[in-house]
């Protein structure tokens, strides 16, 4: 499995600058180009708000959404070795992320009204 999945409909907002950003400005690392804060990604695919985290930013208790799984998985542990991140997911398995990989972590939910962003 490749851990670089995106949703069909995504809106990128920096919670720090309170600014909406275009994909071209954020898709390198999914952080704010102005303040480096991890972006809030609002999707209408499932009405969740996500943080899209590279391995270095993933921490214990993050709630990871994998493609084709309805439920999310809690992070138990993250370890870095030989250029890869090993992320242990509760009730699933340990997955291996390369430097350029990311996981979609559930940050909250919203009403799906894109005009309110």
Residues that bind Zn ion (CB under 5 A): 14, 16-17, 32, 34-35, 37
Extract the tokens encoding 37. Answer: 């804060």
Q: Report residue 70 as tokens.
A: 């309805």
Q: Tell me whether residue 35 or residue 94 sits nearer to Zn ion (CB atom).
A: 35
Q: What is the smallest separation between the CB atom of 26 and Zn ion, expressed in angstroms?
A: 10
Q: Please check whether residue 43 is in contact with residue 6, taking contact to mean a CB–CB distance below 8 angstroms.
A: no
Query: In DSSP terms, which residues pair with 80 in a beta bridge?
Result: 85
Nearest C-alpha neighbor of 107 from the set 36, 34, 58: 58
CB of 31 to Zn ion, least distance (A): 8
In the complex, the smallest distance separating the C-beta of residue 94 from Zn ion, rounded to whole angstroms, is: 33
Which CB, 3 or 107, lies closer to Zn ion? 107
């Amino acid at each position: 499995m490749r851990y670089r999945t995106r949703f069909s409909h995504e809106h990128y907002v920096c919670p720090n600058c309170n600014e909406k950003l275009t994909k071209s400005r954020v898709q390198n690392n999914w952080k704010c180009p102005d303040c480096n804060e991890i972006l809030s990604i609002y999707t209408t695919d499932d009405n969740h708000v996500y943080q899209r985290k590279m391995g270095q930013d993933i921490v214990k208790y993050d709630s990871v959404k994998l493609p084709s799984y309805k439920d999310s998985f809690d992070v138990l542990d993250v370890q870095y070795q030989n250029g890869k991140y090993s992320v242990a997911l509760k009730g699933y398995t340990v997955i291996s992320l390369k430097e350029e990989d990311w996981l979609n972590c559930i940050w909250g939910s919203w009403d799906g009204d894109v005009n309110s962003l």
